[in-house]
Amino acid sequence: MTDPRTVLVTGGNRGIGLASAKLFAEAGHRVAITSRNPDVDDERILAVSCDQTDSEAVDRAFETIEDELGAIEVLVANAGITRDQLFLRMSDDDFADVIDTNLTGAYRMARRAARPMLRARWGRLIFVSSVVGLLGSAGQVNYAASKSGLVGMARSMARELGSRNITANVIAPGPVATEMLASLTEEQQTAITDQVPLGRVAQPEEIAQMINFLASENGAYITGAVIPVDGGLGMGH
């Protein structure tokens, strides 16, 4: 982005979200993050508490950010949860909670962010999906469904909002060196890495670089795209 913009990164207190927020801040943009328990040791970043399964909480968070930084011009919808379980053992709540946070939550955030974007006739909606949403994964029916749903949602938004100079795109990361990955056993981590043609997991900063590109003027003619950043794991799916 050439001019400083107001950027909101959901789930921005760690991992990909935090790396993205810091990269935007380093480039001189006005940056806010939301999470249920925001705790970011960076004075350049405004941290706001928000439960994106609650529309009223979303409105309150946006009002706080708008009062401090101005209208959101770039939304990075990154917040997500997992409730892994074989689908025959998965409870209705396990499925519904993941959908409500990962998919419906992203919808709530994007709906609220799009209003000022429409008035400004400029905006970037960037959704962080997963290679799991494209390939599927045993034990992650709920997570895969939520991340796959982001693709159809973003492409529909791209068609609706394109005439107002608002883009909507999806990033599909492969395995990333985050707390979630670190919680797995060494054997599990090795099994994941062995599937990646590049033979390693990504660093959060590598995903953040692609997010930053899509938010920039260099990414202005890209919309409705699903961009894998997965070391070749999905081979373009």
Q: Which residues are catalytic?
A: 143
CA neighbor of 126 nearest in space, from 1, 22, 222, 14: 222
Sheet harboring 226-229: ordered strands across?
A: 45-49, 30-35, 6-10, 74-77, 123-128, 166-173, 226-229
Which residue type is seen at 57? A
